[in-house]
Copies of this chain bind each other. A is one copy, B any other.
Amino acid sequence: MSSSVASERPASAERSASGEDSLIARYFKPLATDPGAFELGDDAAVLKAHGDDVVVTTDAIVEGVHFLPDDPPDTIARKALRVNLSDLAAKGAAPSGFVLTLALRKAEEAWLKPFAHALGWDAIQFGCPLLGGDTVSTPGPLMISITAFGRVAAGRMVHRSGAKPGDLVVVTGTIGDAALGLNVLQRGGAAAALADDAAAREVLIGRYRVPQPRTALAKAVRDNAHAAMDVSDGLAGDLAKLCAASGVSAVIEAASIPLSAAASGLLARGIVGVEAIVSGGDDYEVLCAIPQAGLEAFKQAAQTAGVAVAVIGQVVEGLSSPRLLDKHGKEIALPRLSYSHF
């Protein structure tokens, strides 16, 4: 086991001659720009809290489960980091670094190089440098596990559990695209329906492969939301979790759920139903409960950050599952709330 992503090649590496340390050092050391990473030359990293709370989140992605075997290495890298950045944003935390566990069948330069390069670009873009990690061999599917760190002022992390009756249910970006992108990649109904629309297919596939963490909204979430989480397992299921943690329920209007042009077109043509849109996974948008008094400030901040936000419903008293209503006020039944691994 290698204790750090790029343990220094020992002076005697001529004899061990594995190439592993050398390959990994070459590609990952440039990502370790934080002084606390010690250029990946030690067994551990140092994270400075500077008096803040350190927010810790961990998410893994597995080949064949969270990404497809023929997804390009650069999008796999981005997804692995971004699903964690999405959690930090929803908790109101500014990213400060991450550690990486990479389980590979073999250390191939042709794969590692674009993987590390894309990871490095995202690390710079989101201000989240590599602090350390571990590389292990596996006979099984490729797996990337990332633990990411963020900072918030003491006691200011935004929880799932603070939603109150009367709060507005707000979601960023658009919902359902990633699930439709996966459907396109798997040559499902969406692929056939978009056979003549390569641009729409690309948009949806891009949303599946490369989430857009709402890091730019972290401060606005922290300043205005009573409760927040990121939507990773489907809007309906994740809203149910937020409501359960807060001891409340919610009412959502299907017509208010923000959709991309591609998703909207597929919905209008009856290719996909609203049930699939709200129960598909991989959205990586922020779902939050915002009191009326905070809505304007939140919208302003979102506009400044260039992120679309939409009010989709309201938090109500009660402990039942959130209800999804059609334009006639009739409840839409949801057969499958969200993705579950087992």
Q: Which residues of A contact B (CB under 8 A)?
A: 1-3, 7-12, 15-16, 18-21, 23, 36, 38, 41-49, 51, 53-62, 64-66, 83, 87-88, 90-91, 93, 99-101, 103-104, 106-107, 131-141, 143, 145, 147, 149-150, 154, 157, 159-161, 229-230, 232-233, 237, 240-241, 243-245, 249, 281, 319-322, 334-342
> Copies of this chain, how many?
2
Measured between beta carbons, the chain B residues less than 8 angstroms from A104 are: 342
> Beyond A11-B321, A138-B143, is A132–B44 a contact (Cβ under 8 Å)?
no
Measured between beta carbons, the chain B residues less than 8 angstroms from A338 are: 16
Measured between beta carbons, the chain B residues less than 8 angstroms from A106 are: 342
> Beyond A230-B3, A240-B11, is A133–B58 a contact (Cβ under 8 Å)?
yes
Measured CA separation A1–B280 after assembly (Å): 11
Chain B nearest CB: distance from A61 CB in Å? 7
Closest 9 CB pairs of A and B: A140-B140, A49-B49, A18-B340, A12-B321, A10-B240, A137-B341, A44-B57, A147-B147, A47-B54
Chain B nearest CB: distance from A29 CB in Å? 13
Chain B nearest CB: distance from A98 CB in Å? 10
Which listed residue, B41, B57, B131, B135, touches A245 by the CB 8 Å rule?
A: B41
Which listed residue, B19, B58, B134, B337, touches A16 by the CB 8 Å rule?
A: B337
Between A7, A44, A59, A337, the greatest number of chain B beta carbons within 10 A of the residue's beta carbon is seen for: A44
Q: List 13 A-B residue pairs with CB atoms under 8 Å apart, sorted by A's residue number.
A: A1-B61, A2-B341, A10-B244, A10-B337, A16-B338, A42-B245, A43-B87, A43-B91, A44-B93, A46-B55, A103-B143, A135-B341, A138-B140
Measured CA separation A59–B106 after assembly (Å): 18
> Beyond A59-B134, A143-B143, is A321–B44 a contact (Cβ under 8 Å)?
no
Chain B nearest CB: distance from A4 CB in Å? 8
Which listed residue, B44, B53, B232, touches A1 by the CB 8 Å rule?
A: B232
Measured CA separation A338–B1 after assembly (Å): 10
Measured between beta carbons, the chain B residues less than 8 angstroms from A54 are: 46-49, 54
Chain B nearest CB: distance from A160 CB in Å? 5
Chain B nearest CB: distance from A136 CB in Å? 5
Contact B138 A57 (CB under 8 A): no
Measured between beta carbons, the chain B residues less than 8 angstroms from A11 are: 240, 243-244, 249, 319-321
Contact A145 B137 (CB under 8 A): no
Contact A83 B1 (CB under 8 A): yes
> Beyond A49-B49, A159-B42, A229-B43, is A337–B15 a contact (Cβ under 8 Å)?
yes
Chain B nearest CB: distance from A235 CB in Å? 12
Question: Which residue in chain B gives the minimum CB-CB distance to A160?
Answer: B42
Question: Which residue in chain B gives the minimum CB-CB distance to A131?
Answer: B56
Measured CA separation A64–B103 after assembly (Å): 13
Measured CA separation A237–B340 after assembly (Å): 43
Measured between beta carbons, the chain B residues less than 8 angstroms from A319 are: 11
Between A16, A19, A88, A90, the greatest number of chain B beta carbons within 10 A of the residue's beta carbon is seen for: A16
Measured between beta carbons, the chain B residues less than 8 angstroms from A245 are: 8, 41-42
Measured between beta carbons, the chain B residues less than 8 angstroms from A88 are: 44
Contact B321 A10 (CB under 8 A): yes
Contact A101 B99 (CB under 8 A): no
Measured between beta carbons, the chain B residues less than 8 angstroms from A36 are: 53
